[in-house]
Amino acid sequence: MHRRSFLLLPLLTSLTLFAKSSVPWELGKYGNFSFKNAHKNIYIMHGVISAPDDENIGFITNPAFIETKNGLILIDPGGSYEIGLHVLKQIRRISQKPIIVIFNTHDHDDHWFANAVFKEAYPDAVIYAHTKMAEAAIELYGGDYVKRGFSFDKAKHICFADVGLEGGETLMIDGETFHIQHPQNAHTNNDISIAHLNSNTIFMGDLLMSKTLANFGLHSSILGNIDFLEKIEKEKPYDLYVAGHGPSGSREEAFIPYLTYLRIIKEEIQTAYNEDISRNDFSEIEEKILLQLSWEENLNFSHTFVNRYMHHIYSELERSENF
């Protein structure tokens, strides 16, 4: 493990730019949004549990911050410049302290395209992400941040990390201690989880979903995601699990349901693979999986996700056999 300490410097801010907002963020039919004190010095503004659209402007993630003695540590500030401005206004309702550190959990735009807002407001803020994140983002989006994705044209400009992480680091920031973990391949190839030891909270980005589901695509492994969740499961329970999308909560509320969901699909597809059942015969297996998922009535997903996950896991098993 590596240990790093930081000397915090006072930051000058514009009274106009950082004027305290007195009202929550109104987002049409989706309601009002503001940061809530989730646990000790942890504040979260949970995003919309939905696909991005014009009305929610792509605010589907969970920006969070930790208030320290001298500043604020921000995790996943959001997916566009416009979202970042709203996030900053809502932070100002809680605290006028400067942003001193920003963590990005992985390369998907909905979590980090708002970096620019906070770097403009606080140029000395240090952004942390995995060392592979910038390379993966350029590959994923082809370097074209205008024409690709829902919010790219609103990003203004791209701010990648100032400091790269490999996983295994312990960071000391203004009296707060963080432990970083990195699965080799899971939701992406550059995910990090961030355990805040002072509050016994873990921020998991899209390694964890609550009441909704993740897309798995380029550089992703559902089996790797399951392995990492099972590793976290063996650790001493955290008081709060912060998901990349959906509500945060206790181990039983926010962590176990998603791991259980993924395990069910994995076990059924592993059996099908071992028995040499063709992909063309997945319909009965899918029905069996859906019956097992009936316990989660509030899971917000399309059944097409189940089929997609089934094929993804089957492909992973095929690839692993070829190596």
What pLDDT was estimated at residue 211? 86
What pLDDT was estimated at residue 59? 96
Distance CA 236, CA 161 (A): 30
The CA–CA distances, whole Å, from 247 to 91, 113, 185 equal 19, 21, 24
User: Which domains occur in the chain, in start order?
Assistant: 3-7+14-251 (3.60.15.10)
Does residue 151 or residue 304 have the better pLDDT?
A: 304
Digit-coded pLDDT (tens) for 90-127: 999 999 999 999 999 999 999 999 999 999 999 999 99
pLDDT-based confidence at residue 148 (cuts at 50, 70, 90): very low
Altogether, the residues listed in the chain come to a count of 323
pLDDT above 70 (res 306): yes
pLDDT-based confidence at residue 11 (cuts at 50, 70, 90): very low
Distance CA 91, CA 82 (A): 15
* Whole-prediction pTM: 0.89
Is 115 in contact with 123 (CB distance < 8 Å)? no
pLDDT-based confidence at residue 138 (cuts at 50, 70, 90): confident
Is 317 in contact with 273 (CB distance < 8 Å)? yes
List strand residue ranges (DSSP E) for the chain, in order.
3-4, 25-26, 32-33, 36-39, 42-44, 64-67, 72-75, 99-103, 126-130, 163-165, 170-173, 176-181, 193-196, 201-203, 240-242
Digit-coded pLDDT (tens) for 181-197: 999 999 999 999 999 99
Distance CA 48, CA 184 (A): 29
Is 67 in contact with 41 (CB distance < 8 Å)? yes
pLDDT above 70 (res 34): yes
Strand arrangement, sheet containing 201-203: 3-4, 170-173, 176-181, 193-196, 201-203, 240-242
Residue 64, token pair as written in the block: 């969070």
Residue 20, token pair as written in the block: 């305290």
Distance CA 156, CA 35 (A): 24
In percent, how much of the chain has pLDDT > 90?
A: 68
193: three-class secondary structure by DSSP: strand
Distance CA 183, CA 205 (A): 12
What pLDDT was estimated at residue 291? 84
What pLDDT was estimated at residue 7? 33
Digit-coded pLDDT (tens) for 243-283: 999 999 999 999 999 999 999 999 999 999 999 998 888 98
> Chain-wide mean pLDDT for the chain?
87
pLDDT above 50 (res 213): yes
pLDDT above 80 (res 147): no
pLDDT-based confidence at residue 169 (cuts at 50, 70, 90): very high
Does residue 147 or residue 194 have the better pLDDT?
A: 194
